[in-house]
Amino acid sequence: MVIGFEELYDLAKNPEAKNNLIQDSNVKELSTFMIDKYFKLKKEQSSMFNFRRCYWSYLQNMLLLFALIQVSHSQTKPHWQNPEVVNVNKLPARATSISYPHEKLAITADRDASPRKLSLNGIWKFHFVEVPSKAPQDFFQPAYPDSNWKELPVPSNWELYGYGKPWHRLTHQIWEKKGVDQPNVPEDYNPTGSYRKRITLPKGWKNMQVTLHIGAASSALRVWVNGIYVGYSEDNRLPAEFDVTPFLTEKENIIALQVMQWCDGSYLEDQDHWRMSGITREVYLEAAPKVQLYDFEVRTDLDENYEDAELQIRPEIVKFVNVDTKDWTVAAQLYDEESQPVLSKALEIPVEKILKEHYPQIGNRPFENLMKVDVKNPKKWSAEFPNLYTLVLSLKDIKGKLVEARSTRVGFREIDISDGQFKVNGIPVLLYGVNRHDWDAITGKAENKEAMRRDAELMKQLNVNASRSSHYPNPPYWYELCDEYGIYVMDEANIESHGKGSLFSNIPAWHTTFLERGIRMVERDKNYPSIVSWSLGNEAGFGPNHAALSAWIKEFDPTRPIHAEGAQNIYGYNWPKPEPKDRVYTDFLSRMYRLTDDMIDLSTKSDDNRPVIWCEYAHSQGNSTGDLEGYWKAIRKYRRLVGGFVWDWRDQLVFKEGGDTKPLWKHGKDFGQAQADLNPVQKGLISADGRIKSAGWQAKYVWQRVKITADSISKGLFTVENRHFRTNLNAYDLVWEILEDGKPIQSGTTDSPDVEAGISGKLRLELPQIDVKQGFHYHLKISFILKEDKPWAKKGYAIASGQFLLTHAPHLKITEKNSAPQLMESSSEIIITTQTAKLVFDKRSGRLVVYEMDGKNLISAAPKPNFWRAPTDNDLASGIIKRQGFWKEASAQQKLSSISTFKTEEDIKVITTHQLANSKAIVTQTYALWGDGTLHVNYHFQPEATMPEMPRVGWQLQIPSEYDQLKWFGRGPLESYADKKTGAFFGNYTESVKNDFTYYVRPQESSNKAEVYWAELTNPDGKSLRIESVDNPVSFSAWPFTQEQIEKANRIEELTFGETITLNIDYKQMGVGGDNTWNLDARPHKAFRVDAKPCSYSFKIIPLQ
């Protein structure tokens, strides 16, 4: 049976049919009021177009309910287990805006300032159950007693307040192992929260149309107002808006909401992230006139020279009452950053022209049909120059009186893909991007404006210019920040079926869900200039439903390219070669975690000229993000490689109290989850509490837009390559400083060279002569700094830096007269003494067991060669135990081959040779004690001809924990490794050993300094132990734990501070890798591995008073 508008009207006029409909147990959520309201509206509407636009969701619900009558009760499923029901009575999606009573308010574009917005954020009454059927049945009634209910803030995740469990999963929903399959969700466990809030409408809202806006609810939402059922919504990352005008009174009103954690839509919300519930984004009421600017879309069309523009506007009028609007108008005025009008005369259009727009029989209506105006050479918007205007739309009645005003920020820019490149305003742009989840360590996935602003600030500080909204639309405030700060956004639909691949894209019943999620995203976010691409989701394969969504978006918005990660003829991580051609409905060739060589091959194919992008790469789990430079050498070389998005931006850990001496974090297993994934929550460039990690500083260096190369340091000649896309280097100041062992001794500021974007130029610095001291290293650091404050950083912030070694004068060895050490030897020991120092070697083990200074032993455990490290997440993923486990045994088992002494006039040498277990590899250590107590160590390693790659080659010892103040001259201040060190500059740094340690949630190798000239550890009495490299800098770290403790621990809390500090003085350690964290590709790239080859190095240990 086909039911049309009139058939529905006639059927529902029949009292018996209407009563049957209402009494049916399957459709009890439909009230008599809703049906009556339909007829009232039907009679009042003068425009069927407006009726369809405003009440299409009401009609959908009617049609669905009549259809349900034909179905037996046993076959009917609730909405939350029916993929063909995605909403009931939800208003059509629209661009984010608010109604203003005055144009002056609209110019501010501050939605919170409008008296027509009533925030419902804050404390709500809350009731929690684990099964929907156990929720209080009549809780939505105004008289329902809620005095014994708990209270919960909105927005929030209820799990963080002790209700239910927050789950963290990589793939699949937790119930799938219980035999529950799509589209069903568990009936025995589906946490449900019921909310109630009492409100009174502001004065002046009488006779206004009132909309309830719920920014996001996870994952199924039902709404009542004053006991009357209003509607239903799915999609836990987009707003639900409902017309609540008829249900409200001038007195106290009760808003009642019910949220279920899981619904059929959860199968498309299978993101690699926390699964948390609740009302997670802002809730408010909006009052607007009965005739209103319901929606509008703005485009900017630049001319062929990307200079002048045509501003195009499509306003949409909705009439909630039957009012004659024949002589009403909509006016548009554009304002600059000083709030001054740009257009000499406001653009106007009759309301009737909007309502009666012609739709042709062939083709579609031109977008610019309604309102357009030429704008002469406006300031363009880009990530480097985020120039914004404010557009104010004013609806005026027949007398010219303002009915309402709405506004939005406008950025004049044009996105294009041509010649295999991604272009902004005609210029090829590379995307220095990150994947960003909504997350805060305290508030979880609930909207947190302060955390979002901090994210935007840090992204700009770290030279990030792009953010992928992984893997769902973000709150509107995030896009406003990206507009303001200049961050390109790939806006992604909330579609991920990670555990089931492309299944849902190939099932017709899920077609509505796919379209709903993509269309509502585009409708809401269409006016943000920062959004430069639409993404069809993540890890959901591809199929007809994706193709349909892509077709809709392309037709609706041809100004932005489409990204579809799953649009490949492959699934999984083992790709056939040659690679099948990607689907036509994606404008990018997108890959995740592909190796650089593979991407180069893909980008140089001649049969496909689409740009190639990493939608995810450089998997930053644990101690990771190695060789980011390798990716970017390729990206900057090959035309069609346009950048990518690092996985990911911020660690998703939950703050845990009690971390006074070390940071403590919660993860899935803290909430009783046997199936929880552990360290995947720690993959960020910044920490959960917003501190920049070593990976973040390295990314900043790799992504900086100025490359500085020394031509002749002695003459002060350099080449500077401007990697900006529009900015001349003269926009910055240039600062140079000369450092003596890391401490600045001279500095200066000068104008930056005049070098246009995309080219190189010369730099000449007039550097002063320096008085070179014996034993000191001198570096020159050059930085380009901000000339003025920016929203994201203060004047003087360095956006790019380079550092160069100027000169080095080696130490002169000075030995005091009559200070030669003395040698004593017994059958079991070798003892060497000076006036202040004493060494004791055990002849059976060949180990140094005592290093005494002024009667106090400086070592707590005998030093020994070390070839192992506590495996990082990448090490474990790449199979380090199997591939390199030999070196763990070799570190633990070393057999003494020989021990001998050799005396000179200046020192006494002890020479030990140890053979590694199960091999013929030899380590020879030569210890020389000088008269002043200095211990000189020479280390030589001689491997066998064929041995596996080595985690490290080094020397490890333990000293008393009282030497807990660390000072060093080398790379810093954070950890650095062979493939993650160029962003750590040489300097003179000071920190406590405990604070210097990098506390990964799963303890692992950390805190290394890749190149250190010297380090000092000092006790409270001011006595120090100085480690000093000889010839070449060493890799160095100081831990408040032993290596065995670190390797054994599964989490930070298992690490306990002891009586010793572990020192690692290494010749070399392999890099950290991080192409991924699940197979052999997780290991470091070849250049940053340590081959088993002969090597030697030397260092000194110097006791200082």
Q: What is the CATH number of the domain that holds 1052?
A: 2.70.98.10
Tell me: do 942 and 994 sit in the same domain: yes
Q: What is the CATH number of the domain that holds 233?
A: 2.60.120.260
**pLDDT tens per residue across span 187-239:** 899 999 999 999 999 999 999 999 999 999 999 999 999 999 999 999 999 99
| pLDDT at residue 72, as a whole number | 36
The answer to the question of residue 31 being in a domain is no
Tell me: do 380 and 435 sit in the same domain: no
Please check the confidence at residue 283 and state whether its pLDDT lies above 60. yes
**pLDDT tens per residue across span 821-868:** 999 999 999 999 999 999 999 999 999 999 999 999 999 999 999 999
The answer to the question of residue 49 being in a domain is no
Q: In angstroms, rounded to a whole number, what is the distance separating the alpha carbons of residues 778 and 803?
A: 10
Q: In angstroms, rounded to a whole number, what is the distance separating the alpha carbons of residues 560 and 333?
A: 25
The answer to the question of residue 259 being in a domain is yes
Could you say which of 700, 716, 742 is where a domain stops? Answer: 700
pLDDT, mean of residues 494-507: 93
Three-class HEC string of 498-561: CCCCCCHHHCHHHHHHHHHHHHHHHHHHCCCCCEEEEECCCCCCCCHHHHHHHHHHHHHCCCCC
Its sign, for the CA torsion 861, 863, 866, 869, is positive
Please check the confidence at residue 688 and state whether its pLDDT lies above 80. yes
CB distance 234 to 263 below 8 Å: yes
Q: How many domains does the chain have?
A: 5
Tell me: do 729 and 826 sit in the same domain: no
* Token pair recorded at residue 529: 């200039």
Tell me: do 710 and 690 sit in the same domain: no
CB distance 280 to 451 below 8 Å: no
Tell me: do 1028 and 1086 sit in the same domain: yes
**pLDDT tens per residue across span 867-884:** 999 999 999 999 999 999
Candidates 404, 616, 1005, 1016; catalytic one: 616
Q: In angstroms, rounded to a whole number, what is the distance separating the alpha carbons of residues 1020 and 584?
A: 68
Tell me: do 621 and 566 sit in the same domain: yes
**pLDDT tens per residue across span 312-335:** 999 999 999 999 999 999 999 999
Q: Which amino acid is at 493?
A: A
Is the pTM here over 0.85, yes or no?
yes
| pLDDT at residue 573, as a whole number | 40
CB distance 438 to 650 below 8 Å: no
Tell me, yes or no, if 991 is annotated catalytic: no
Q: How many CB atoms lie within 10 A of CB 865?
A: 21
Q: In angstroms, rounded to a whole number, what is the distance separating the alpha carbons of residues 655 and 665?
A: 5
| pLDDT at residue 568, as a whole number | 84
Tell me: do 259 and 311 sit in the same domain: no
Please check the confidence at residue 492 and state whether its pLDDT lies above 90. yes
| Confidence grade of residue 365 (pLDDT, cut at 50, 70, 90) | confident
Q: Which residue has the tokens 């197979």?
A: 1079
Could you say which of 700, 729, 761 is where a domain stops? Answer: 700
Tell me: do 487 and 585 sit in the same domain: yes
Tell me: do 306 and 274 sit in the same domain: no
The answer to the question of residue 815 being in a domain is no
The answer to the question of residue 55 being in a domain is no
Mean pLDDT of the chain: 91
Instruction: Mention every residue, 6+ apart, whose C-beta is less than 8 A from residue 121.
Output: 153, 154, 155, 282, 283, 284
| pLDDT at residue 810, as a whole number | 85
The answer to the question of residue 32 being in a domain is no
Among candidate residues 307, 481, 525, 298, the one with its CA nearest the CA of residue 383: 481
The answer to the question of residue 46 being in a domain is no
CB distance 214 to 206 below 8 Å: no
Candidates 234, 286, 316, 539; catalytic one: 539
The DSSP call for residue 89 is: S
Tell me: do 682 and 721 sit in the same domain: no
Tell me: do 953 and 1058 sit in the same domain: yes
| pLDDT at residue 19, as a whole number | 46
The DSSP call for residue 1073 is: -
Among candidate residues 7, 5, 1, the one with its CA nearest the CA of residue 70: 1
Residue 171, φ and ψ in degrees, nearest 5: -145, 160
| pLDDT at residue 904, as a whole number | 87
Could you say which of 261, 288, 315 is where a domain stops? Answer: 288
Q: What is the CATH number of the domain that holds 604?
A: 3.20.20.80
Burial of 539 (0-12, 13-18, 19+ CB in 10 A): buried
Q: What is the CATH number of the domain that holds 335?
A: 2.60.40.10
The whole domain housing 783 covers 704-808
The answer to the question of residue 7 being in a domain is no
Tell me: do 1049 and 1072 sit in the same domain: yes
Tell me, yes or no, if 539 is annotated catalytic: yes
Radius of gyration of the chain (CA): 34
